[in-house]
Amino acid sequence: MDEILRLHKNGKIKVISNAPIDSIAVLRRIYTPGVADVCKMIVENPALKNVYTGIPYTVAIVTDGTRILGLGNIGSVAGMPVMEGKAALLQELVGVNGVPILMGTKDTEEIIRTVKNIAPTFGGIQLEDIESPKCFTIFERLEKELNMPVMHDDQQGTAVVILAGLINACKLAQINFQEAKIGLIGLGAAGLAIGKLVLRYTGKPALGTARSEASKQRHVAAGGIASSFDEIMQKTDIVVATSGVTGLIKPEMVRKGQIIFALTNPVAEIEPEIARQAGAFIAVDGKEINNVLGFPGLWRGTFDAQASKFTYEMYRAAALALAAEAPAGKLVPDVFAPGVFLKVTHAVAKAAMDSGVAQRKLGKEYFGCNDVKKVPED
């Protein structure tokens, strides 16, 4: 605990200058009077903000603190260490600026209005740790009403990494993913998004169950099939649990040969070792399948392409890139494996171009670039 607190002391992030301010000449260039000329250029050509400001590589990390990790509704200020962590990862892994935005309200309309009002500061919006069903409304409205990419990391970011893991799990188990019967236990932000992405990828709807009838109905409206906990455990080849209930899956419920992703943190629905002892062919938890593998490369690729929004093709490309980078016998790559985020970045940027949402032309020299922190000149 002492080491954890030491790393958090005074916060994990800070704003720094790209240019050393070590003389009056430099001061006059980066501030007054030189900065006025840059401002006037942007007035005449607003697109120059993408050249002469940090806006195109800056993402807002927005939370109201209603669904922080497995801690629940602890408020946005108590959630700041999580938001700082996301920002630190974005900068360290892919050179993107992440700015935590803590909401002082939990009202859906006020959150939407606030984010829209501050949006000009940013190249994109990442929603974090907002409770369901409110998170769905906020995401859908902002995605529709803002002319910039919007992602809810608990939804799309998580779903991308889970899809990558499922692709490799099916390969290891010699199961045809497109034909496998999939069950979702828990249909909150993560569960619903996983169901949507799996449906698009396989063309086959997943069974889904949750504590609330409203959650089941959202799953059905998204193309899924309402089910029960017992039916899922008894009849599916793949179980993905995001229920938030520790110990929900008992060993005797596990079918021989099943693939089980028990993803509730900090303690899963069933410990992977226990699930494997009970007959599961593959069993993992949220510590092994972590969404840190997804959102950094998703953002860098999106910003590199100057994409106007995220598309299914971009999420699919990210998942396939992650799956391809996993070492033999593993479901996903290690966070520190060389080139992982570069591969995701390039795959997302290319998919943005292929799906028609890229506003920047990226030549083949970009896709040979070895440094995700290098902004392409073209």
Whether the Cβ atoms of residue 130 and residue 152 lie closer than 8 Å to each other: yes
Residue 329's region, left for phi above 0, alpha for psi from -120 to 50, else beta, is left
Identified catalytic residue from 57, 86, 216, 343:
86
User: How many whole angstroms separate alpha carbon 66 and alpha carbon 331?
Assistant: 31
Say which of 9, 12, 14, 31 is annotated catalytic: 31
Contact predicate 275/288, CB 8 Å: no
Q: Any catalytic annotation for residue 201?
A: no
Instruction: Tell me the pairing of strands 282-285 and 259-262.
Output: parallel
Give the pairing type, strands 282-285 and 225-226: unpaired
Q: Is 267 exposed, middle or buried (0-12, 13-18, 19+ CB in 10 A)?
A: middle
Tell me the Cα Rg of the chain: 22
Cis-peptide, bond into residue 100, ω within 30° of zero: no
CA distance 285 to 268: 6
Provide the token pair at 210.
């949750």
The two structure tokens encoding residue 368: 């040979």
Euclidean distance between CA atoms 259 and 331, whole angstroms: 12
**Cβ-proximal residues to 186 (8 Å cutoff; 6+ apart), any chain:** 210, 241, 242, 243, 244, 245, 264
Q: Spell out the residues 6+ positions from residue 260 whose beta carbon is closer than 8 angstroms to its own.
A: 238, 239, 241, 249, 254, 270, 272, 275, 280, 282, 283, 284
Q: Which residues are catalytic?
A: 31, 86
